[in-house]
Structure 1
Amino acid sequence: MQQIEDRPRAGLARLARPSGAFAMLAIDQREALRAMLAAHQSGPVSDQQVTDFKLEVTRALTPHASAILLDKQFVWDQAVAQKAVAPSCALIAAADLFIPSPDAFVDKVEIDPAVVAAEVMADGATALKLLVIWRQDEAAETRIEMTRRFVAQCKDAGLVSIIEPVAKPPRGAVPYDWNAGVLEAAKELGGLGADLYKAEVPLHGRGSEAALRSACAALTKAISSPWVVLSSGVEPDEFPRAVELACKEGASGFLAGRAVWKPVIGQPNLKAALAGEATDRLKRLCEVADRAVQG
């Protein structure tokens, strides 16, 4: 029993760089990624195109990431079978089932029954990740119960549990403060036992250093585990600053995708763009996280 309890602690170390900073790459986007690819071609984007892009990103960037987040729907099995992930890079499986609506790629989330802990562990997984949608007009009990259940499942399996609360506008036409929602989500879900918390960057990374640092300090106070930032909603060129300031106020790195690989979508030579621009972006982020965490 003690051995199982120690696995998440060892798993967190496996997800991090020698500095202790988390420099993790996300490529678990699904229909949102299809839409990004579609913006650069005239016809529909096939499932195979989505998979192929994910595999190219995985091959090119995992030598420089401490971990990579992959989804079962499009790429997990292929990446494992093709040994596309660099041996130095830990594996995180997306355990979330995205349920769309007519106007949203992800309207609701459930724990995906197709992602079986024992199976992804056999494939080499160190952690599972669950997206949790936070809306001020929806019952907290439902998302709290799902989060607790996810954390318990990970603990029972000896896997690191990562939760990713994302603040969404209420369904009704009521006033809404997104930044307040990010903090309220952290207060509600950040103490439920997850091993790692993946947070949206307050203010979308914009604003003064003092304002951003204050907002990140509030997240640190609300979250009982180590936490990292994601890059959705932050301009790629502004994300390194966001990582640096978040880490100075208690964050431990990043788990991000768009800030690294989105700028190369649509470029005529994808492999070259990933090996050049995207790799440079990821290396810079690693350096920023190392320096901020150590300093």
Structure 2
Amino acid sequence: MNKLTTLERRGMAAISTASGKMLIVAADQRNGMKAVMHDAPDGPGSITAEQLSDAKVDLVRYLGNAAPAILLDPEVALPRVADEGVLARDTALVVGLDASGFDKVDGLQFTNLVPGMSPRKVRDLGGDVAKMLWYMRPDRQDADSRVADGIRELVTACSEEGLLLIVEILVYRLEDESEEDYAAAFPGLVADSARLSVLCGAKVLKLQYPGSAEASAAVTEAAAGVPWAVLSAGVDHETFIKQVEIAVANGASGAMAGRSLWKDSLAVSADVREQLLTERALPRLHELEAVVEGALVSL
């Protein structure tokens, strides 16, 4: 297990429930959030930067402030939600470092930092914890690969700043890989990506649901004591609740939920958005917390 420093332990406590389970509302999406706003019943032909910023403010005000932590981007949401006093005192701020999109080199996908972002900049924006996304194919990439170097370098830089880094890994299908072959390989890819990330120094992981109880247990074993949280990956709330329940029962340490909570609540109208976030998204968050805490059995 990669041990947390004292400051990193404080960051871990800030993003966790009273019982120590991670629970974070993910709202760092940019293009993905614009897409669901566009699909909202009152959505215009295109979403402006101001409309997106307003939606993120409301996500914090009516949903994120009810969670231990919220994940936000440094391009649209920040520093506005902090400077305007929208973010509650008791809700930790996780700052996403990854830029939208990815580069493709020799069939592999690589993310980049948002220009100008660094561990010091996370602190300047009021962040308590940082998050960085890497795409990974552990069957094609090893401890000497570009992605491994990137994880090691950022984990070290964040640790030197006294900042906990959440390492998010997404595995993906290769261009010459059939859907059937990818589906068969998927559970092992998630587990192997956890193993490689931990080898590179990761201290907290954000991972895809690997597909079953057995696969979740395999991920827990691969993580070697490093806590991992399940990401919602755009599935509906009911599906995600079941995934989290299975994962937590097999060693996962919590959940980071985005679209499963709010994708059908981001109306363009501020009044409608407030109503939907309060009456639809917020109860989902409470249900998710109960599952993470082991107080609700949905299966």
Q: Same fold (TM over 0.5)?
A: yes
Which of 264, 276, 280 pairs up with 2:279? 276
Q: Tell me the SS of whatever aligns to 1:190.
A: helix
Q: CA 1:26–1:222 in 2, change beyond 3 Å: closer, same or farther?
A: same
Q: Tell me the SS of whatever aligns to 1:144.
A: helix
Cα offset, 1:101, TM superposition: 7.1
Q: Tell me the SS of whatever aligns to 1:170.
A: coil
Between Structure 1 and Structure 2, the one with more strand by share is 1
Identity %: 28
Q: Aligned letter for 1:165?
A: I
Cα offset, 1:234, TM superposition: 2.7
Between Structure 1 and Structure 2, the one with more helix by share is 1
Match of 2:93 in 1: 91
Distance 2:155 2:295 in 1: 29
Q: CA 1:100–1:49 in 2, change beyond 3 Å: closer, same or farther?
A: farther
Q: Tell me the SS of whatever aligns to 1:76.
A: coil
Q: TM-score, normalised by structure 2?
A: 0.86
Match of 1:207 in 2: none
In structure 1, runs of 5+ residues without a counterpart are 204-211
Q: CA 1:186–1:271 in 2, change beyond 3 Å: closer, same or farther?
A: same
Q: Tell me the SS of whatever aligns to 1:202.
A: coil
Q: Are positions 1:154 and 2:154 aligned together? A: no
Match of 2:71 in 1: 69
Match of 1:183 in 2: 191
Q: Do 1:90 and 1:126's aligned partners in 2 also have CA atoms closer than 8 Å?
A: yes
Distance 2:94 2:138 in 1: 29
Q: Do 1:55 and 1:75's aligned partners in 2 also have CA atoms closer than 8 Å?
A: yes
Q: Aligned letter for 1:190?
A: V
Q: TM-score, normalised by structure 1?
A: 0.87
Cα offset, 1:29, TM superposition: 0.8
Match of 1:223 in 2: 223
Deviations 1:138-164 (Å, cap 9, x if unpaired)? 544011001111101110100001011
Cα offset, 1:267, TM superposition: 8.1
Q: Are positions 1:15 and 2:19 aligned together? A: no
Distance 1:155 1:275 in 2: 37
Match runs of 1:113-262 below 5 Å: 113-135=115-137, 139-140=141-142, 141-173=145-177, 175-176=181-182, 177-203=185-211, 212-224=212-224, 225-262=226-263
Match of 1:43 in 2: 45
In structure 2, runs of 5+ residues without a counterpart are none
Q: CA 1:238–1:77 in 2, change beyond 3 Å: closer, same or farther?
A: same
Q: Tell me the SS of whatever aligns to 2:94.
A: strand
Match of 1:209 in 2: none
Q: CA 1:53–1:267 in 2, change beyond 3 Å: closer, same or farther?
A: closer
